[in-house]
Structure 1
Amino acid sequence: MSDDLMRAALNAAERGWHVFPLRPGTKRPALHGESACPRTGPCASGHRKWEDRATTDPDRIRAAWHRAPFNVGIATGPSGLLVVDLDVPKDKSSTDAPCGAATFKALCERTGQAVPRTRTVRTASSGQHLYFTAPAAVRLHNTAGTLAPLVDTRAWGGYVVAAGSAVDGTRYEVQGPALLRALPDWLKRTLVPPHPVNRPAAVAAARVHRPYVDAALARETAAVTAAPEGRRNATLLRAARALGRFVASGDLTRDEVEMPLQRAGESAGLSATECRTTLHSALDWSITHNHARTGVAA
């Protein structure tokens, strides 16, 4: 098993993809988080996250995978990849709920496009990862449900589990030809916001920098990242409710809360869909209740 996983990591690195170890049998990074950073070794000059430490160096890969049967994570941004993640519904009781593959196919049909054929990896949950080379001219980031329900993307700030890894005893496997295609232009146009040509710039209200707000955001994000199995969703819910008051007060935007908590929840082992659903309801609740309290106080 260790040899197979090391080979999977080396094969990915040979393609120019930057890899890092995931905890054996899981999708969670095996590297330490910021709160536990010893500030030594690679982090001597400051904490380096998994995206910064991902590598194509075969010697570093062999040294890491000799230690344990780590699964293989591919940092999509540094690897020049954009991966479309077609998820499956988590509620197994409903057989009518469409999967990500179905909603993505419907999107393609609505736009008059064929479903792109590119390197495809079947995930442990029977979903699919569609690999594309990312456009060099624009820096794409992760999205959650932007294209269609149960369709997420991984680019800068994201990672995918490489083929050859196994989660809950099920391997990630390449399906069909392994040929890697460039991201289609129509998908790129959907993911890249329109350039604000001749559009008057919106003047944002000046925000007073409050160190305790930044500290609260860092603290809650770290708590979600380190949440143990069985407490992950509850920790994410509590963090979103705690930080929602800063959205209600105008100290943080919703994106400034939602994006780091989404990444933290996925790093802890929750699915993108679980994180998105929990964050949406928790932030809505917190913003509504904190606005209500503000009105009463006034």
Structure 2
Amino acid sequence: MATTARHAATLALAHALSAAERGLPVFPLSPTKLPALRSPHRGQPGHVSCRGECGLPGHGVYDATTDPVAVRALFDAAPWATGYGIACGRPPYHLIGIDLDISGHEPAAGTTPDSVAALQQLAFEHLFTLPETVTVLTPSGGRHIWLRGPANVVVPNSAGRLAPGIDVRGGGGYLVGPGSVATRGAYRLAPGTADLSAPAPCPRALLRLLTPSAHAGHCGHPPHGQSARQGEGLVQFVLASHEGQRNTRLFWAACRAYEHGFGEALADTLVEAALHTGLTEREARATIASARRLTLER
């Protein structure tokens, strides 16, 4: 067991150094995918707001570096590390990670996982195509899609905001690097992407979805044609719900409709779609009302 752990730690360092050489800031991770080094401020009274200014390691993603000497020092301080994190939002790539999660059950043969289908639906609705880029396969069956962001845009981290099962890693976040070994298994590059030297640029339409809109939550209405096109996609998203995800999909669709200013106009249609999936009218209207409150509060 000890030999296996040492082997995993040695491989993690080797992969981290390789990533750092390509310009990706890295730091050590434990098998739980959390930063391997504990905070030097633990036990101190009150909240300590330090992002490494103290000069000590143990600040998670803020320890990330491309300096090979510093990388080795971090791993020497955490010999139990079996993986490494890659800081997002940092030059030169300003990495954006699209994390497609796979729910607890494996998709049926010949079907597309919900998160992948949701991303395809977003691409269809907003007229963008995902470029060929670095993709990392996770032990749970999910995947991390790497994209390059512009230097002047900060992409926030989010969980499920784009769609259920889609998380976003941006500034202040990190991705588990390929070659890392976690409790559930290893992270590895997807076939066909190992030879790609850098992440592909993020499509502009997708970038607009990833960044907070100055108009989110406003009460104005988009042009009728635009409203109809987006509304149709949201309705189809609800209609495609399976048992166990009906409320989640309805809530997400309602939030997007209210954010874009046509929530009230689409509410009855969303209720009708929810009825087709098996929800009662009372359940559907309560879910939409919750989405409206949350959006207006934002």
TM-score, normalising length from structure 2?
Answer: 0.58
Q: Which of 86, 96, 99 is 1:74 aligned to?
A: 86
Aligned to 1:120: 135
Count of aligned pairs between the two proteins = 198
Aligned to 1:33: 39
Amino acid in structure 2 at the alignment position of 1:183: C
Aligned to 2:204: 185
Aligned to 1:104: 119
Is the CA contact 1:123–1:173 (under 8 Å) kept in the aligned structure 2? yes
Q: Does 1:88 align with 2:91?
A: no
Residue 174 of structure 1 and its aligned partner are, at CA, apart by 0.7
Higher radius of gyration, 1 or 2: 2
- Runs of at least 5 residues in structure 1 that lack an aligned partner in the other structure: 200-283, 285-298
* Inter-partner Cα distance in structure 1 for 2:18 and 2:124: 35
Residue 181 of structure 1 and its aligned partner are, at CA, apart by 0.2
Q: List per-residue Cα deviations over 1:164-184 (Å, max 9, x = no partner).
A: 001225211111224320111
Is the CA contact 2:129–2:203 (under 8 Å) kept in the aligned structure 1? no
Measured at CA, do residues 116 and 49 of structure 1 come closer, stay the same or move farther in structure 2, by a change above 3 Å?
Answer: same
Is the CA contact 1:88–1:100 (under 8 Å) kept in the aligned structure 2? yes
Q: Does 1:152 align with 2:164?
A: no
Is the CA contact 1:131–1:181 (under 8 Å) kept in the aligned structure 2? yes
Aligned to 1:295: none
* Inter-partner Cα distance in structure 1 for 2:56 and 2:68: 24
Aligned to 1:212: none
- Runs of at least 5 residues in structure 2 that lack an aligned partner in the other structure: 1-6, 219-289, 291-298
* Inter-partner Cα distance in structure 2 for 1:93 and 1:7: 32
Aligned to 1:56: 66
* Inter-partner Cα distance in structure 2 for 1:35 and 1:190: 36
* Inter-partner Cα distance in structure 2 for 1:186 and 1:142: 18
Measured at CA, do residues 56 and 113 of structure 1 come closer, stay the same or move farther in structure 2, by a change above 3 Å?
Answer: same
CA RMSD of aligned residues (A): 3.3
Amino acid in structure 2 at the alignment position of 1:124: P
* Inter-partner Cα distance in structure 1 for 2:59 and 2:166: 26
* Inter-partner Cα distance in structure 2 for 1:47 and 1:27: 17
Is the CA contact 1:122–1:128 (under 8 Å) kept in the aligned structure 2? yes
Q: Does 1:4 align with 2:18?
A: no
Aligned to 2:144: 129
TM-score, normalising length from structure 1?
Answer: 0.58
SS at match of 2:209: helix
Is the CA contact 1:89–1:97 (under 8 Å) kept in the aligned structure 2? no
Q: 1:150-229, aligned counterparts within 5 Å? A: 150-175=165-190, 176-178=192-194, 179=196, 180-195=199-214
Is the CA contact 1:123–1:129 (under 8 Å) kept in the aligned structure 2? yes
Measured at CA, do residues 103 and 65 of structure 1 come closer, stay the same or move farther in structure 2, by a change above 3 Å?
Answer: same
Q: 1:138-149, aligned counterparts within 5 Å? A: 138-149=153-164
Is the CA contact 1:37–1:43 (under 8 Å) kept in the aligned structure 2? no
Amino acid in structure 2 at the alignment position of 1:173: R
Amino acid in structure 1 at the alignment position of 2:86: I
Aligned to 1:221: none
* Inter-partner Cα distance in structure 2 for 1:45 and 1:169: 33
* Inter-partner Cα distance in structure 1 for 2:180 and 2:142: 15
* Inter-partner Cα distance in structure 2 for 1:113 and 1:45: 43
Residue 145 of structure 1 and its aligned partner are, at CA, apart by 1.5
SS at match of 2:205: helix
Is the CA contact 1:88–1:150 (under 8 Å) kept in the aligned structure 2? yes
SS at match of 2:33: coil
* Inter-partner Cα distance in structure 1 for 2:164 and 2:153: 24
Measured at CA, do residues 93 and 63 of structure 1 come closer, stay the same or move farther in structure 2, by a change above 3 Å?
Answer: closer
* Inter-partner Cα distance in structure 2 for 1:101 and 1:45: 41
Amino acid in structure 1 at the alignment position of 2:203: P
Residue 53 of structure 1 and its aligned partner are, at CA, apart by 1.5
SS at match of 1:145: strand
Is the CA contact 2:130–2:203 (under 8 Å) kept in the aligned structure 1? no
* Inter-partner Cα distance in structure 2 for 1:58 and 1:104: 36
Residue 83 of structure 1 and its aligned partner are, at CA, apart by 0.5
SS at match of 1:36: coil
SS at match of 2:35: coil
